[in-house]
Amino acid sequence: MDGRILSKCIGVILSLLGPSALADEIEPRITLVLKAESVLKEGTIWPGFSLFARPVILYETGKRAWVIGHPAPPSDCIPLSSTRYNACRLEGPLAGMAVSWHLDFPLNGSTCFAMSYQDSDNPMRDIQTLVHEYFHFFQRSWISPAEYHSEYPMDDPENIALAVLEQRALARALLAPNPRQTGEWARMFVAIRKHRIELSGGKTQNVEDREERSEGTADYVENRTVLSPILQGDGENAIIRGTADRLKENLSQKDMGKHRGYFTGSAQCILLDRMNYPFWKKETADGTPIFTIMAKAFPVSPRESGPLLRKAKSELCGYESLLDDYRQSFTRQEEEKTNALKKYESTPGIHLTVMSFQGRSYTSLASSGGVLLLEKGRKLHPDVNEYKDQSDTNKYRLVIRARAMLEDNGYQCFISERSKVWLDGQPSQWEAGEFKFTSVKITEPGFELEAIIPGVFKYDGKALTISWTNTEEGK
């Protein structure tokens, strides 16, 4: 964001806070959070959603924490001049905050939403992230944990080409100058989506419905809460243009499923708003997929589907050429996958599998080799710079560096026979067998696993599997 716009916004917010709020005490992210909450209080973005349903902590990593809305903050929390919002500052590191954000961070008897940031980070981007993730906390009452289906057709060229087509129809609907044209392009989107669902035998629907209802609504709320008011007069148009630009881009395999749900879902939310479709937010919260609501708002009869699909293929892009490009690209990708998998499987050392289990953890991945999507939902990362998976309870931590990694109901990689192993706090030798533990630790340069969780260590001389016997603990 332009620094002049941010300065103007902060000035406006400080004026709202009153003369007792000293500018030198106010971290820019605090002012943005307060402005976002004032917008949400109007109740038009999403009924019932508030950033202060529980206290908020903004933690400048290693330096200080800004605490907002805590009913009984720690005694060493320095109040800001304005006590209207019960905001204060804790100096020094925040004990126990080892992840980017924490939905259930305990502080002085209260459960808080906490988010870490660096001083060099963009304040606007940080608060967009905070609103987005806080909305996921709000969604807990109406969205169950993710269930990803291995049958989703990630490697189907026609599915991806049609997905490009439906996104371009959505973009046209967003940019349409009047309701009639909005309706025409929205109905074309509905026709294409129904065709994709039919072609896949329904396999695309479960994943896309869930991601649009989860990530799509969060993207919509994030933008409407932060961008519209901050950019003021041009905010809505900026959101529409930004969403349309994302929709116009061609897709790759990794975009399918979860990733594209952010902006396809957000776009449908914008269109339902524009058409004043009644109660769509309540229907969404009650369990109805956004696309189901879209199909009611912009109905397409079976007789209309064929002509709309043909018009889309002829007007939105050179469809046959696009499909041919994807077919050729997929052929090359299959060769790349085969070669990369062979290289992975020939890696020397012990093949380690760390099984997944229920719970919440925070992950980060830096990779110079991209990701290859294999059959049945498996993912191969040929060249991981660093992968981290850490629980918010600090009972589980996995770090993988400088090697290939396979995701398949857990995390797989190769480690050396010289790796150091501890079971229940005691050094252990590489001995074939099956051993139960209450804690496990395995380390070598580039690999760390540490967990205080009951499980099983199973080694056959070539492969090691770490599984968990208490899936409710840990993450």
Q: What is the pLDDT of residues 176-205, one digit of tens each?
A: 999 999 999 999 999 999 999 999 999 999
**170 shares its domain with 318:** yes
| pLDDT score at 391 | 82
**19 shares its domain with 133:** yes
**121 shares its domain with 224:** no
SS3 sequence of 24-59: HHCCHHHHHHHHHHHHHCCCCCCCCCCCCCCCEEEE
| pLDDT score at 451 | 94
Contact between 183 and 172 (Cβ < 8 Å): no
From the CA atom positions of the chain, what is the Rg in Å? 25
**379 shares its domain with 455:** yes
Decide which of 88, 108, 139 is a domain's last residue: 139
In a domain, 474, yes or no: no
**134 shares its domain with 280:** no
| pLDDT score at 365 | 87
With a CB cutoff of 8 Å and minimum separation 6, the contacts of 403 are 347, 384, 413, 414, 446, 447
Decide which of 323, 358, 375 is a domain's last residue: 323
Report d(CA 171, CA 186) in Å as an integer. 9
In a domain, 341, yes or no: no
pLDDT tens for 390-424 read 887 778 999 999 999 999 989 999 999 999 999 99
**372 shares its domain with 291:** no
Least confident of 213-217, 238-242, 244-248: 238-242
Contact between 214 and 139 (Cβ < 8 Å): yes
Average pLDDT of the residues of the chain = 88
Give CA separation, 344 vs 9, 337, 383, 412, in Å. 52, 10, 10, 10
In a domain, 147, yes or no: no
In a domain, 336, yes or no: no
DSSP code for 97: -
- Compute the 3-state secondary structure of the chain and give helix, strand, coil in percent, each to the nearest 5: 45, 25, 35
In a domain, 328, yes or no: no
Report d(CA 70, CA 113) in Å as an integer. 11
β-bridge partners, 457: 435, 466
pLDDT tens for 345-385 read 999 999 999 998 666 677 888 888 788 888 877 899 999 99
Number of domains in the chain: 3
| pLDDT (average), residues 69-91 | 85
Report d(CA 326, CA 153) in Å as an integer. 14
Global confidence as pTM: 0.80
Residue owning tokens 């906390």: 137
Per-residue pLDDT band at 232 (split at 50, 70, 90): low
Strands 350-355 vs 372-373: parallel, antiparallel or unpaired: unpaired
**247 shares its domain with 116:** no
Cα angle value 280/161/291 (rounded, 5°): 10
What is the signed CA dihedral for 218, 220, 221, 223, rounded to 10 degrees? 120
pLDDT tens for 123-171 read 989 999 999 999 999 998 887 655 555 578 878 999 999 999 999 999 9
| pLDDT score at 74 | 95
DSSP code for 315: H
Q: Retrieve residue 292's tokens.
A: 């189901």
Domain with 303, as residue range(s), is 157-323
| pLDDT (average), residues 73-96 | 85
Is the per-residue pLDDT at 20 higher than 70? no
**307 shares its domain with 163:** yes
**176 shares its domain with 295:** yes
In a domain, 373, yes or no: yes
**15 shares its domain with 110:** yes
Report d(CA 396, CA 354) in Å as an integer. 11
In a domain, 337, yes or no: no
pLDDT tens for 30-48 read 888 988 998 998 889 999 9
| pLDDT (average), residues 55-83 | 90
| pLDDT (average), residues 99-126 | 90
With a CB cutoff of 8 Å and minimum separation 6, the contacts of 197 are 204, 205
| pLDDT score at 10 | 40
Report d(CA 327, CA 113) in Å as an integer. 45
β-bridge partners, 79: 88
Per-residue pLDDT band at 226 (split at 50, 70, 90): confident
| pLDDT (average), residues 426-453 | 95
pLDDT tens for 271-325 read 999 999 999 999 999 999 999 999 999 999 999 999 999 999 999 989 999 999 9
Q: What are phi and psi of 421, to 5 degrees?
A: -125, 135
Cα angle value 174/176/182 (rounded, 5°): 75
Distance from CA of residue 140 to its chain's centroid?
15
| pLDDT (average), residues 99-115 | 91
Decide which of 86, 113, 139 is a domain's last residue: 139
In a domain, 149, yes or no: no
**299 shares its domain with 372:** no
Per-residue pLDDT band at 233 (split at 50, 70, 90): low
| pLDDT score at 358 | 62
Q: Retrieve residue 80's tokens.
A: 């800001």
| pLDDT score at 25 | 52
**377 shares its domain with 433:** yes
Contact between 69 and 36 (Cβ < 8 Å): no
